[in-house]
Amino acid sequence: MDIHEKIAGEITIADNPGETIRKWREEFQVSQLELARYLSISPSVISDYESGRRKSPGVLSIKKIVTALVDIDQKRGGQVIRRYSSGMPSDALIDISDYNHDISLERVIRMINGTNYCNVGLNRYIRGYTIVDGIKAILSFSYSEYSKLYGWSSQRIIFFTEVKMGRSPMIAIRVHPLKPAAVVYIQPDRIDELAIKLAEIENIPLIVTDLDAFSISRIMASLK
Amino acid sequence: MDIHEKIAGEITIADNPGETIRKWREEFQVSQLELARYLSISPSVISDYESGRRKSPGVLSIKKIVTALVDIDQKRGGQVIRRYSSGMPSDALIDISDYNHDISLERVIRMINGTNYCNVGLNRYIRGYTIVDGIKAILSFSYSEYSKLYGWSSQRIIFFTEVKMGRSPMIAIRVHPLKPAAVVYIQPDRIDELAIKLAEIENIPLIVTDLDAFSISRIMASLK
DNA sequence: TAAATCATCCGGCACTTGACGAATCCCTAA
DNA sequence: TTAGGGATTCGTCAAGTGCCGGATGATTTA
């Protein structure tokens, strides 16, 4: 969801649009003066809006104001915006690629020397893979960025590194609308019961491997 | 996120608000005539809006139209709405309610005898609360059901019971698009570093209380 | 103490919205 | 083929937006 639309929606539906404009202006820490200057209009106009002198401002006015607030924030470094949609750092994403044909999951498991930990059938096919640093991902991805883990097909296998108990990655998957065809933990410390339970609920094989991320990246790429 | 705000936001920010109004009216399968009758205005008015004769309709007009569309849908059984906000509660959901006024977070924290665990400002307001069993929720909720946690306002405080390290609930929040105004752990075993870090990234106060879920339910209800 | 900054209030004016109703057109079901 | 639902276009006009500039006041900063 775009931040502009979110703010505009709140203003439009509010019982008192003016007060809501003010709320957001203050949230962005922009003075009436600064906002007015940015829009090349008189500060009194802003005050009139916020005080409610205009009961039903037009959508163009709202759009201008919202856009200006977001723009100003961005020029300052995007302090406020980032809370709603953070930038995409990609050192969390180690490798991602798609195949243009199906690959048997069982074959992949054999190649990476994996062990299945839960009671879910392995007779399925994948069309892509993602290798991701579990901790960095959870720390740096915003909601929408999780979708990027899925590339072109959600019919894929996701590898997680830096796994402690193995709960976090499965919870992320549980809560997210897109589900992978299989999950692999790369050299985890241990496997928690809840992780296995979640995998079974989602009907996703939970696999563990002793190989390192780099080797796996090479193996998976070789399957193209 | 309220569906009214979502639609209104889209209309307000769109390059062509009229077309966007039309898109939603058609999405709701309401004819111009029906909409006009519901609002006791002439159908030509709707057409004028949609055709773009009015380039910057006022927020009141938008609000009326959006509200009418949602109302009409609801009277028909809420076919369309349900696609955006669906889900069944279960025994995981202990209590949920909304206020029709802002309540200071600091006041709530005082009343539940809470301690803030992370470096995030407490100067904010809430409009509702949710008390949920952390383990049961993660085991029984499907993706869309997580939205149910947010009731009518995402500007709310969420209480989790059955917390071990406190990582899982924060991860669920991190991965989900809707974010609460504050999170409270009810009698957690302990608080993991990662949980605090995540709370700080999301700019969500992470609070701990020693009271039990039942007492909290009573206290929060008393604030109405 | 003077000078900015920040915000409010208000009279005024050009222009637009918000709404009407009548005319017109395209379908489709009786 | 005729009626009616659905949609569009347009002339019209009261009411309201959008914006100005100037006056006023409260705080902060020089």
Distance, CA of A132 to CA of B105 (rounded, Å)? 36
Distance, CA of B220 to CA of B224 (rounded, Å)? 8
Output the distance from A52 CA to C14 C1' rounded to whole Å: 21
Of all nucleotides, the one whose C1′ comes closest to residue B58's CA is: C17
Per-residue pLDDT band for B133 (boundaries 50, 70, 90) equals: confident
The reported pLDDT for the residue numbered B148 is 60
DSSP letter for each residue of B28-60: TT--HHHHHHHHTS-HHHHHHHHHTSSSS-BHH
What torsion, rounded to 10 degrees, do the Cα atoms A184, A187, A191, A194 define?
-40
CATH number of this structure's domain A93-222: 3.40.1390.20
Q: Considering the entire predicted model, what is its pTM?
A: 0.51
Q: Which residue has the tokens 């796994």?
A: A163
- Residue in chain A closest to B175 (alpha carbons) equals A143
Closest by alpha carbon to A109, among A125, A96, A98, A93? A125
pLDDT higher than 70, residue A152? no
pLDDT tens-digit profile of A178-188? 688 899 999 99
The reported pLDDT for the residue numbered A88 is 35
Lowest pLDDT segment from A13-17, A149-153, B205-209: A149-153
Q: Which residues of A touch B (CB under 8 A)?
A: 1-2, 4-13, 17, 55-63, 66, 83, 86, 135, 138-139, 143-144, 146, 167-168, 171-172, 174-177, 194, 197-198, 201
The reply to whether residue B66 touches residue A171, judged by beta carbons under 8 angstroms, is no
Distance, CA of B224 to CA of B88 (rounded, Å)? 24
Closest by alpha carbon to A27, among A56, A66, A54, A58? A66
Of all nucleotides, the one whose C1′ comes closest to residue A54's CA is: D17
Same fold, B3-84 and B93-221: no
Residues from chain B contacting residue A55 (CB–CB below 8 Å):
58, 60
DSSP letter for each residue of B102-164: EEEHHHHHHHTT-EE-SS-----EEEEEEEEEHHHHHHH--TTHHHHTTTT-SS-EEEEES-S
Q: Where are the domains of chain A?
A: 3-84, 93-222
Distance, CA of A62 to CA of A58 (rounded, Å)? 7
CA distance B171 to chain A (A): 6
pLDDT tens-digit profile of A76-119? 766 677 555 433 334 567 777 777 678 889 999 999 999 999 88
* The listed CATH number (3.30.70.1230, 3.30.70.260, 3.40.1390.20, 3.30.70.1530) that belongs to domain B93-221: 3.40.1390.20
Distance, CA of A210 to CA of A115 (rounded, Å)? 9
Class of the domain covering A3-84 = mainly alpha
- Contacts of residue A23, defined as CB under 8 A and 6 or more positions apart, other chains included, come to none
